[in-house]
Structure 1
Amino acid sequence: METNRQKKIGGVLQRDVADVIQHALREAGVQGILVSVTKVSVTTDLSIAKVYMSVFPHNEGEKVLNEVNAVKSQIKHQVAQRTKNQLRRMPELSYFIDDSLEYIDNIDKAIKGKENPLENPDLLPRRKKK
């Protein structure tokens, strides 16, 4: 269960990390890739923040994650400059790809496609009755 303080810090970091990453992508001249920070969860001692990014198109996710990790310290520094009036200590940032949108998209395609388990229940494994 997250405390209000963790949620507030997560919200501040989410906005600032998103701004910094999007600015870095623009400066690098990257075209056609959309990166958004979907969630930031902060540990109870406020020392580590997990940053979840959603990347579109999905197949660019690994590449973007590698590039973000390569400039991790610069991102942390820029975010620290923005949050210095709100945070005493800048948490360590860890980056992850949030594939929940892709997962939802796959479910949507499965339901709309030929293999619709709602119309053809034989596609689903049978539950064993006890």
Structure 2
Amino acid sequence: MSSIRQEKVAKLIQQELALIFQQNAKVHFGGAFITVTVVRMSPDLGAARAYLSYFANSGSDKKEFIEMIRSKTSKIRGLLGNVVGKQLRIVPELYFYLDDSLDYAEEIDNLLKE
């Protein structure tokens, strides 16, 4: 169970990451439409697990996409630090994961239709 502070910081990180991905999509992320679905904070607020969903213009693989995002983690964290640096004492370490909940829901829906 997360505390109120964890939830507030997670919401702040989620909003700011969404803006970073929106503003830098063309330059850094190959024009992919990236959505930050969930952010979960560690109890000490030193680490944030961000779950991403994306829609790419080109036919890139999911593994390639998440590896590209992970390779740019330090750049993303720097951009995040510029925005939330005055609100948080420590800019959390970022860990990115692919959110496959939509794929899972679609699979369940297909199974129910059969």
Aligned to 2:9: 9
Let me know the Cα RMSD of the aligned residues: 1.9
Give the whole-Å Cα distance in 1 for the aligned partners of 2:104 and 2:70: 24
Give the whole-Å Cα distance in 2 for the aligned partners of 1:110 and 1:4: 38
Aligned to 2:92: 91
Q: Which residue identity does 2:2 align to in structure 1?
A: E
Q: Residues 68-102 of structure 1, C-alpha deviation per residue, up to 9 Å, x if partnerless? A: 11111010000011101210110100010110111
| Pair 1:56–1:111, CA change in 2 (3 A) | farther
Q: Per-residue deviation at 1:45?
A: 0.6
Q: Which protein has the larger Cα radius of gyration, Structure 1 or Structure 2?
A: 1
Q: Per-residue deviation at 1:35?
A: 1.5
Aligned to 1:48: 47
Gaps of 5+ in 2: none
2:48 match: secondary structure: strand
| Pair 1:29–1:53, CA change in 2 (3 A) | closer
- Cα pair 2:25 2:33 within 8 Å, conserved: no
Gaps of 5+ in 1: 117-130
- Cα pair 2:49 2:96 within 8 Å, conserved: yes
Q: Per-residue deviation at 1:61?
A: 2.5
For 1:25-104, list aligned pairs within 5 A: 25-28=25-28, 30-31=30-31, 33-56=32-55, 60-104=61-105
* Normalised TM-score (structure 2): 0.87
Identity among equivalent positions (%) equals 29
| Pair 1:8–1:34, CA change in 2 (3 A) | same
Number of equivalences? 112
Q: Per-residue deviation at 1:17?
A: 1.1
Give the whole-Å Cα distance in 2 for the aligned partners of 1:28 and 1:7: 28
* Normalised TM-score (structure 1): 0.77
Give the whole-Å Cα distance in 1 for the aligned partners of 2:78 and 2:8: 20
2:24 match: secondary structure: helix
Tell which deviates more after alignment, 51-60 or 100-109: 51-60
